[in-house]
């Protein structure tokens, strides 16, 4: 630690802690509005079908039913990016695709009415595999998406949006290589981020162009921009509720927002649409599927000379933001791999399974989990230790990369080798590494193996944030920032930053509720951007208001503003601390004082996470236990050690590390039904199965803001799956190039089926 | 429910009593049985009644299927999944929910330990986890880490606050290492 702070770097109680542990925190389903109706969705039993006829009269006749919407009477909004999925359509494209919406006095009545909607379907041929979907004779999902391909595009990313990686000359690169390897790896088990709280929103119209939306989201602001993209420039106010987990998936809540909003408009009443867990599984979004087929040119010293191949992305029946995920993923590949010659061609393909949305890892986890195993083949061929390879090839000072917007960025961060080395030391890598495909230990039928994965993301500095800080004469400060709380404690973290700048007791700093009516612009809590971009805006606002405070106090204290300091809501002369005035005297008891802050994007400080994993495979049963994880990063400055610890440990869940071993959404390939769409059959880690978990966190000051910190939470899971895949390979000596590593797959690899 | 009904017998006796009594956090509630909006329907779960009829929304519903533990409350001293119990079966029972842990503004030591250890992220699983560990500590005031893990085996925490939860519970039991 470089500096002793009052709050920064120390564990402090979360601002909402008391609400959470007393049950007072208001989640979306804890809310009721006067006159509120309950919305329910009818899902399709077919993965691809045309609706031949749909009759809602029996449902409408039901007492308490206030509206039934189908493609015939729904608004003509289109979801997805580019907009391609009609909110309700005459064609359904996955099992669970919403066919009709009902609003009724109670959820029970709405549910009952669903059963009274008579639908006749004409089943259509369906396709569940992305590579099959792009074949010429495959079933077509959308008339305007030939070949089931989602077009590349800019979609607000900027005119040069990074939609492929084409750098240098791969032919020349392959010539320079000592060795060329080819490989294919699929990370297409489409895991579910599965927040404990199902998705839900409440929509209420006040006239045709004025909408209020309560949303369980990680980003109230993203819900607003999303609504305006879909419904035009209506007047919309978005209020965030306490959010029971998101991991990306509830960032914009596209589908539930559209459904609730449509029902609220049809009934002119507030409508709550809150999924059951089954609906959460059946109709909500999943992670992208990813498959890479690539050739790698490598030199004996571990220098990579060329990477060429294709990246097939399975978006499911529609995609919320795939162009952004491609852009970020393509940038992230360059952070992990310093290589002068690239040609990676992404293709985003629609298939007849659940839509894909935002999930922590955002394109990059998908890409890394499929690319690192191919790189591993090259590493093995030249017999380089993967830790040495990653140290050598992760972006370094003096390097640059094309980021998301297609703009070249020069790296301003530290040499992350130091952190990687420290992590390896804590993990005991050198002692355990026996070479590629070799177990660390063998005892009876048990084989232990180790693996490592790496990931970095420059979105820690993405897009813009604004914040204000208001000082009240009674010695309190209020941060105005549109921050939702879905778990990462960002609301509390910015309060700590403001309290630190203003040298105020933390209890005296409060933050406005997430509400677009009250707060200045905020892009949202994505890409680990909260600590840097949002933090910087709050810091700037706090510094601005402090400067105003000193200007007001200077004449009263007979000093220059630069001579002053503030402490616990009084201003004093640094040289004569006895000369002191309360804020009340300085500001005036009927005034407040407001400072403003705004941060522009800065993509030059990517974060880094390395995950070391040790597994034990039983070669008789194929069962794999995750024994130990060491998560390693350098975040510049810890804001709160317990919060950070929780975020890093979170790498196991939320479609993270466990997607390598157990987590998957299993589709019945005959009809597209999800076979494990419930909390018993979908595998998740329990308290009795915890691996040993250690964190290694360096604090090399970053040139970000006053506290030299950057965020790392979002990327924590991303290096995990490939680390575990590598560990299993080393344990059993057989390469498996797909996830998850279920016992049957392992036995098959060992020829023991 | 009246005691003279044997739900297993094929010839059910007519219901004589049209209400049940339920004590929640020390306060008795008399709840009418029927199909009106403010009545307890035979299909209502305890979780539903607590949240929708009585306003104890601190109890969360995650899966509504007995698979995630979010809805855990304490019934007559035992941790139970309130989504898997019908309210009409709870006549005369005494329920403790997360709202009942704080007494006269004084937090329960477990609650304080969860604050001190930031033993939650999104917090949705937290009320259920606290109720289970309360029942554990009542029965076993000095549990081992393993006891805690076993007690919480049925609780889904997707944020992975497990490690900090275990520390918090050990601290509340005075066994902080
Ligand atoms: S809600 Fe009761 S166990 Fe999941
Ligand atoms: S804290 Fe989010 S699920 Fe446990």
Closest to A285 measured CA to CA, from A260, A261, A250: A250
With 50 as the cut, is the pLDDT of residue B2 above it? no
In a domain, B114, yes or no: yes
In a domain, B148, yes or no: yes
| pLDDT value of position B16 | 58
In a domain, A70, yes or no: yes
Residues with C-beta less than 6 Å from any ligand 2 atom:
A 196, 245, 487; B 120-126, 157-159, 161
With 50 as the cut, is the pLDDT of residue A2 above it? no
Q: Are residues B136 and B80 in the same domain?
A: no
Q: Residue A376 — left, alpha, or beta (φ > 0 → left; ψ -120 to 50 → alpha)?
A: alpha
Instruction: State which of B100, B124, B139 marks the end of a domain.
Output: B100
In a domain, A360, yes or no: yes
Q: Are residues B38 and B96 in the same domain?
A: yes
| Ligand nearest to the CA of residue B64, numbered in listed order | 1
The residue of chain A with its CA nearest to that of B116 is A13
Nearest neighbour of A245 by CB, restricted to B37, B67, B158: B158
Take residue A393 and report the two structure tokens written for it. 């090839």
For B21-43, write each residue's pLDDT tens digit: 999 999 999 999 998 878 999 99
A679 touches chain B (CB under 8 A): yes
For A559-617, write each residue's pLDDT tens digit: 999 999 999 999 999 999 999 999 999 999 999 999 999 999 999 999 999 999 999 99
Q: Are residues B68 and B131 in the same domain?
A: no
In a domain, A190, yes or no: no
Residue A184 CB-density burial (10 A; 0-12 exposed, 13-18 middle, 19+ buried): middle
Take residue B139 and report the two structure tokens written for it. 């029965």
In a domain, A133, yes or no: no
Q: Are residues A479 and A455 in the same domain?
A: no
Q: Are residues A354 and A481 in the same domain?
A: no
Q: How far apart are CA B70 and CA A276, in angstroms?
A: 14
The residues near A201 (Cβ < 8 Å, ≥ 6 apart) are A28, A213, A214, A215, A216, A223, A253, A256, A257, A260, A272, A273, A274
Inter-chain touch B160–A246, beta carbons under 8 Å:
no
**Band (B127; pLDDT cuts 50, 70, 90):** very high
Q: Are residues A592 and A670 in the same domain?
A: no
The SS3 assignment for B144 reads: coil
Cis peptide before A523 (omega within 30 of 0): no
**Band (A68; pLDDT cuts 50, 70, 90):** very high
Domain range for A643 is 289-460+604-749
Q: Are residues A535 and A481 in the same domain?
A: yes
In a domain, A144, yes or no: no
Total domains in the fold of chain A: 3
Q: Are residues B95 and B28 in the same domain?
A: yes
Instruction: State which of B61, B82, B100 marks the end of a domain.
Output: B100
In a domain, B57, yes or no: yes
Query: Taking the model in full, what pTM does it have?
Result: 0.96
Residue B125 CA: which ligand 2 atom is closest? Answer: 4
Closest to A126 measured CA to CA, from A154, A97, A85: A97
Q: Are residues B37 and B95 in the same domain?
A: yes
With 70 as the cut, is the pLDDT of residue A627 above it? yes
With 60 as the cut, is the pLDDT of residue A65 above it? yes
Q: Are residues A525 and A636 in the same domain?
A: no
Q: Are residues A482 and A613 in the same domain?
A: no
Instruction: State which of A534, A569, A599 marks the end of a domain.
Output: A599
Q: Are residues B94 and B114 in the same domain?
A: no
Q: Is the CB of B159 under 6 A from ligand 1?
A: no
Residue A679 CA: which ligand 1 atom is closest? Answer: 4
**Band (A752; pLDDT cuts 50, 70, 90):** confident
| pLDDT value of position A156 | 87
In a domain, B9, yes or no: no
Higher pLDDT, A554 or B36: A554
For A227-233, what is the mean pLDDT?
A: 92
Higher pLDDT, A26 or B38: A26
Domain range for B159 is 109-172
Closest to A328 measured CA to CA, from A398, A248, A227: A248
Q: Are residues B33 and B83 in the same domain?
A: yes
- CATH number for the domain including B76? 3.10.20.30
Closest to A21 measured CA to CA, from B114, B54, B159, B26: B114
- CATH number for the domain including A75? 3.90.1170.50
Instruction: State which of A544, A574, A599 marks the end of a domain.
Output: A599
Q: Are residues B94 and B153 in the same domain?
A: no
For A435-445, write each residue's pLDDT tens digit: 999 999 999 99
| pLDDT value of position B4 | 45
Q: Are residues A69 and A213 in the same domain?
A: yes
For A306-346, write each residue's pLDDT tens digit: 999 999 999 999 999 999 999 999 999 999 999 999 999 99
**Band (A641; pLDDT cuts 50, 70, 90):** very high
In a domain, B2, yes or no: no
CB interface of A with B, residues 638-667, below 8 Å: 640, 642-643, 645-647, 649-654
Instruction: State which of B100, B119, B153 marks the end of a domain.
Output: B100
| pLDDT value of position A753 | 66
The residues near A241 (Cβ < 8 Å, ≥ 6 apart) are A26, A27, A28, A30, A31, A214, A215, A216
For A388-412, what is the mean pLDDT?
A: 97
In a domain, B13, yes or no: no
What's the CA-to-centroid distance between B125 and ligand 1, angstroms? Answer: 10
The three-state DSSP-derived secondary structure of A102-156 is EEECCHHHHHHHHCCCEEEEEECCCCCCHHHHCCCCCCCCCCCCHHHECCCCCCC
A242 touches chain B (CB under 8 A): yes
Q: How far apart are CA B68 and CA B62, in angstroms?
A: 7
Give yes or no for a contact between A365 and A718, defined as CB atoms under 8 angstroms apart.
yes
Q: How far apart are CA A90 and CA A54, in angstroms?
A: 9
The SS3 assignment for A22 reads: helix
A20 touches chain B (CB under 8 A): yes
Q: Are residues A339 and A446 in the same domain?
A: yes
| pLDDT value of position B5 | 44
Looking at residue A744, what DSSP letter applies?
H
| Residue of B118, B127, B163, B168 to mutate when probing chain A, most A C-beta within 10 A | B118
| pLDDT value of position A3 | 64
What's the CA-to-centroid distance between A735 and ligand 1, angstroms? Answer: 39
- Alpha helix stretches (DSSP H) within A480-534: 490-502
Encode burial over A132-155: b for 16+ CB neighbours within 10 A, e otherwise. Answer: ebbeeebbbbbeebeebebebeeb
Q: How far apart are CA A616 and CA A622, in angstroms?
A: 10
Q: How far apart are CA A396 and CA A509, in angstroms?
A: 39
> Which chain A residues have a beta carbon less than 8 Å from that of B114?
17, 20-21
Q: Are residues A307 and A233 in the same domain?
A: no
In a domain, A172, yes or no: no
> Which chain B residues have a beta carbon less than 8 Å from that of A678?
63, 65, 67
| pLDDT value of position B6 | 47
Q: Are residues A452 and A424 in the same domain?
A: yes
Total domains in the fold of chain B: 2
For B83-93, what is the mean pLDDT?
A: 97
Residues in chain B, total: 177
Q: How far apart are CA A126 and CA A146, in angstroms?
A: 15
- CATH number for the domain including A390? 3.30.365.10
Q: Which residues pair with A91 in a beta bridge?
A: A50
Q: Is the CB of B127 under 6 A from ligand 1?
A: no
Looking at residue B17, what DSSP letter applies?
-
What's the CA-to-centroid distance between B57 and ligand 1, angstroms? Answer: 14
Whose CA is closest to atom 3 on ligand 1?
A: B66
Nearest neighbour of B153 by CB, restricted to A640, A645, A686: A686
């Amino acid at each position: 630690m470089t500096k002793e702070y009052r709050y920064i770097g120390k564990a402090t109680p979360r601002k909402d802690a008391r609400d959470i542990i007393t049950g007072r925190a208001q989640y979306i389903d804890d809310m009721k509005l006067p006159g509120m109706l309950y919305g329910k969705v009818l899902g399709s039993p077919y993965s691809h079908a045309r609706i031949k006829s749909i009759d809602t009269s029996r449902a409408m006749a039901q007492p308490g039913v206030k509206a039934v919407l189908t493609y015939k009477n729904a608004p003509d909004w289109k979801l997805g990016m580019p907009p391609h999925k009609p909110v309700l359509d005459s064609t359904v494209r996955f099992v669970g695709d919403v066919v009709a919406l009902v609003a009724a006095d109670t959820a029970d009545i709405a549910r009952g009415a669903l059963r009274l909607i008579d639908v006749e379907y004409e089943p259509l041929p369906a396709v569940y595999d992305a590579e099959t979907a792009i074949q010429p004779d495959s079933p077509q999902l959308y008339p305007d998406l030939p070949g089931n391909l989602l077009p590349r595009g800019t979609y607000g990313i900027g005119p040069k949006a990074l939609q492929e990686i084409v750098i240098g000359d791969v032919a020349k690169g392959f010539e320079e290589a000592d060795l060329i390897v080819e490989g294919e790896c699929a990370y297409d088990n489409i895991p579910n981020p599965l927040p404990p709280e199902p998705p839900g929103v409440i929509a209420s119209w006040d006239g045709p162009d004025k909408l209020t939306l309560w949303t369980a989201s990680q980003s109230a602001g993203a819900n607003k921009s999303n609504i305006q993209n879909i419904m035009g420039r209506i007047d919309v106010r978005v209020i965030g509720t306490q959010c029971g987990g998101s991991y990306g998936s509830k960032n914009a809540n596209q589908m539930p927002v559209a459904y609730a909003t449509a029902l609220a408009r049809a009934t002119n009443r507030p409508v709550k649409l809150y999924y059951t867990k089954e609906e959460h599984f059946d109709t909500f979004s999943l992670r992208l599927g990813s498959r890479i087929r690539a050739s790698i040119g490598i030199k004996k010293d571990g220098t990579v000379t060329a990477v060429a191949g294709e990246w097939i992305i399975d978006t499911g029946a529609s995609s919320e933001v795939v162009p952004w995920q491609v852009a970020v993923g393509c940038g992230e590949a360059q952070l992990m791999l310093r290589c002068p010659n690239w040609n990676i061609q992404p293709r985003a393909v629609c298939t007849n399974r659940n839509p894909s949305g935002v999930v922590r890892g955002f394109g990059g986890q998908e890409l890394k989990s499929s690319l690192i195993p191919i790189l591993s083949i090259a590493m093995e061929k030249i017999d380089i230790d993967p830790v040495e390879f990653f140290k050598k090839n992760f972006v370094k000072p003096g390097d640059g990369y094309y980021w998301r917007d297609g703009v070249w960025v020069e790296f301003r961060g530290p040499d992350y080798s130091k952190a990687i080395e420290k992590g390896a030391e804590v993990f005991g890598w050198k002692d355990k590494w026996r070479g590629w495909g070799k177990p660390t230990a063998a005892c009876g039928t048990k084989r232990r193996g180790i693996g490592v994965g790496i990931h970095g993301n420059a979105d820690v500095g993405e897009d813009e944030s604004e914040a204000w800080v208001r000082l009240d004469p009674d010695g309190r400060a209020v941060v105005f920032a549109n921050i939702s709380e879905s778990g990462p404690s960002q609301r509390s973290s910015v309060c700590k930053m403001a309290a630190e700048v203003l040298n105020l007791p933390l209890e005296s700093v409060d933050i406005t509720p997430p509400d677009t009516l009250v707060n200045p612009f905020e892009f949202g809590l994505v890409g680990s951007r909260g600590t840097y971009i949002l933090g910087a805006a709050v810091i700037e606002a706090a510094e601005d208001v402090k400067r105003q405070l000193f200007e007001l106090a200077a004449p009263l204290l007979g000093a220059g503003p630069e001579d002053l300091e503030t402490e616990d809501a009084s201003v004093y002369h640094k040289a004569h601390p006895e000369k002191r005035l309360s804020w009340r005297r300085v500001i005036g008891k009927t005034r407040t004082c407001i400072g403003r802050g705004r941060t522009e994007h800065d993509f030059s400080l990517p974060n880094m996470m390395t995950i070391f994993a040790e597994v034990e495979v039983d070669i008789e049963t194929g069962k794999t236990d995750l024994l130990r994880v060491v998560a390693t990063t350098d975040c510049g400055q810890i804001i709160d050690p317990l919060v950070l610890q929780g975020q890093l440990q979170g790498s196991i869940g939320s479609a993270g590390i466990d997607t390598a071993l157990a987590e998957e959404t299993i589709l019945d390939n005959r009809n597209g039904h999800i076979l494990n769409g419930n909390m018993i059959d979908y595998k998740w880690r329990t308290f009795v199965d915890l691996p040993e978990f250690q964190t290694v966190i360096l604090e090399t000051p970053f040139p970000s803001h006053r506290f030299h910190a950057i965020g790392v939470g979002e990327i924590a899971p991303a290096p995990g799956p490939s680390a575990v895949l590598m560990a299993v390979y080393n344990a059993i000596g057989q390469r498996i190039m797909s996830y998850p590593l279920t016992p049957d797959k392992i036995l098959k690899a060992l020829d023991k089926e | 429910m009246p005691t003279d009904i044997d739900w297993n017998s094929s010839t059910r006796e007519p219901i004589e009593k049209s209400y049940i009594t339920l004590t929640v956090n020390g306060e008795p509630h008399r709840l009418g049985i029927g199909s009106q909006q403010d009545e307890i329907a035979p299909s209502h779960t305890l979780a539903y009644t607590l949240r929708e009829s009585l306003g104890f929304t601190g109890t969360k519903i995650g899966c509504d299927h007995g698979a995630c533990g979010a809805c855990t409350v304490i019934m007559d001293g035992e941790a139970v999944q309130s989504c898997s119990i019908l309210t009409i079966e709870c006549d005369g029972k005494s329920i403790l929910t997360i709202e009942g842990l704080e007494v006269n503004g004084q937090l329960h030591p477990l609650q304080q330990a969860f604050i001190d250890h930031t033993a939650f992220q999104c917090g949705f699983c937290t009320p259920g986890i606290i109720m289970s560990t309360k029942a554990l500590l009542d029965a076993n005031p000095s549990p081992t880490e393993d006891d805690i893990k076993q007690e919480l085996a049925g609780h889904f925490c997707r944020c992975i606050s497990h490690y900090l939860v275990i520390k918090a519970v050990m601290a509340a039991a005075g066994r902080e290492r």
